[in-house]
Amino acid sequence: MTAMSEGAGALLRHPSLIYFLLSRSLSRFSSQIAAVAIGWQIYDLTGSALDLGLVGLVQFLPTALLVFVAGSVADRYERKRVMQLCQLAQALAALLLVWGSWGGWLNQTHLFLVTAVFGTAGAFESPATSALLPLITPTGSLQRATALSSGATQVATITGPALGGLAYAVAPSLAYGIIVVFWLAGTLFTGGIQPTEPAPSAKQAPTPDGLFAGIAFIRSNPAILGTISLDLFAVLLGGVTALLPIYARDILRTGPLGLGILRAAPAVGALLMTIFLARHPISRRVGLRMFQSVIVFGLATVAFAVSPWMWLSVASLAVLGAADTISVVIRFSLVQLATPDAMRGRVGAVNFLFINASNQLGQFESGITAALFGTVPAAILGGVGTVLIALLWMKLFPTLRAVEKLE
């Protein structure tokens, strides 16, 4: 590893990092296309906001049940092999969607079952992926590498939903076929990654203390605990992803392609912010900047909630995505730099549980509140709740607010 921070351009001369970025992008592409296609098909089949929320719940439950096993696997086995197996499993599950859509027998039960497979594979893939990035990144460059990684996934997030909406408009089987190809290609790129550290050894059997070591480590570090819990509660309340099919069809009066554009809008803002952060990393007052970005996230959610116009909705989602990227880069860098490599899989698994709880349980929460109070009031309440959580966490975790630098 180099002894000093490298610029974004220099980082892209590392082959393993390139393979990593390509693999992550293709996985992200697949998951975004799947989210658009499954969300639209579920709502088209049932017309139920609650069923849209259940998609998030079904995807989250495997993460909650397998979090400690997945973290231990990431610390005991070769991480890129874990990633490859997960990508292959998701490709095979997507084949069922292709077959069912083509044959005309696919129903909401099949969609929920495949979503559960995606959630299970993701529960193992994410901690292995997050623990692998520091091992292929030059010393002092993790914040830039994290920004590049975020940017690579955001490119897929921008184009993935639009492609998914367009492909679904042609035929649902086409949208699902694309994700099969992308996940299979991702397994090939993952195989080209060469970490600088040797693969973990799996000779010793896991112990209960070892399985739960990630929780103990997080509890002993107030800054990490505050960082992870902030993401959980803020995005749990502020996520509007599950409501986008309702906004697209019933409020903004657009179709599957419009839904794809709405889902892509946060990624546009995120990509622009990623480009900025890759060139100009946040060098001071990073804790305060993270809290500020969460507050902006909540305010942008409120703006989206009350917007009756497509252009304002897209702009609000873009601001939301840019603010979220600042928080993501700071959170990931802080957690990875403060965690020893032997613990990164288990800490990453707990982090992923919290992230999934915020995103996927957030979808469930949005579906429930929309069913109870209506779509627009539910989105407004979520945005206001996000702002209040950020302000409260600034008081509860002063050490996190006081963090000055990352590298």
Model confidence at 150, pLDDT cuts 50, 70, 90, reads: confident
Average pLDDT along the chain: 80
Instruction: Report if pTM > 0.75.
Output: no
Q: 152 lies in a domain?
A: yes
- Sorted by sequence, the CB contacts under 8 Å of residue 113 that are 6+ apart come out as none
Tens-digit pLDDT profile for residues 160-186 = 877 888 888 888 889 899 999 999 999
Q: 1 lies in a domain?
A: no
Q: 5 lies in a domain?
A: no
Q: 170 lies in a domain?
A: yes
* Side chain identity, residue 58: V
Q: 2 lies in a domain?
A: no
What's residue 2's pLDDT? 37
Of 352, 375, 364, which is closest to residue 58 (Cα–Cα)?
364
Tens-digit pLDDT profile for residues 384-396 = 988 998 899 888 8
- Sorted by sequence, the CB contacts under 8 Å of residue 109 that are 6+ apart come out as none
Measured over the CA atoms of residue 123, residue 129, residue 132 and residue 133, the dihedral's sign is: negative
How many domains does the structure of the chain reveal? Answer: 1
- CATH code, domain with 352: 1.20.1250.20
Coil/strand/helix, residue 310: helix
Residues above pLDDT 70, as percent of the chain: 84
CA distances from 257 to 29, 93, 167, 254 (A): 16, 24, 9, 8
Q: 3 lies in a domain?
A: no
CA–CA separation, 331 and 323 (whole Å): 13
* Side chain identity, residue 405: K
What's residue 369's pLDDT? 77
Model confidence at 198, pLDDT cuts 50, 70, 90, reads: low
Structural domain range at position 141: 12-195+210-401
Tens-digit pLDDT profile for residues 208-266 = 556 666 677 777 777 777 777 787 777 667 667 778 888 888 788 887 778 878 877 88
What's residue 231's pLDDT? 73
Model confidence at 36, pLDDT cuts 50, 70, 90, reads: confident
Of 58, 15, 18, 63, which is closest to residue 35 (Cα–Cα)?
58
Tens-digit pLDDT profile for residues 8-23 = 566 777 788 889 989 9
What's residue 358's pLDDT? 60
Coil/strand/helix, residue 404: coil
Model confidence at 368, pLDDT cuts 50, 70, 90, reads: confident
Residue 140 near residue 10 (C-beta atoms within 8 A): no
**Statement: residue 1 has pLDDT above 50:** no
**Statement: residue 310 has pLDDT above 80:** yes
Model confidence at 52, pLDDT cuts 50, 70, 90, reads: confident
* Side chain identity, residue 377: P
Question: Of 70-79, 191-200, 395-404, which gets the smallest average pLDDT?
Answer: 191-200
Residue 289 near residue 282 (C-beta atoms within 8 A): yes
Q: 98 lies in a domain?
A: yes
Q: 203 lies in a domain?
A: no
Coil/strand/helix, residue 199: coil
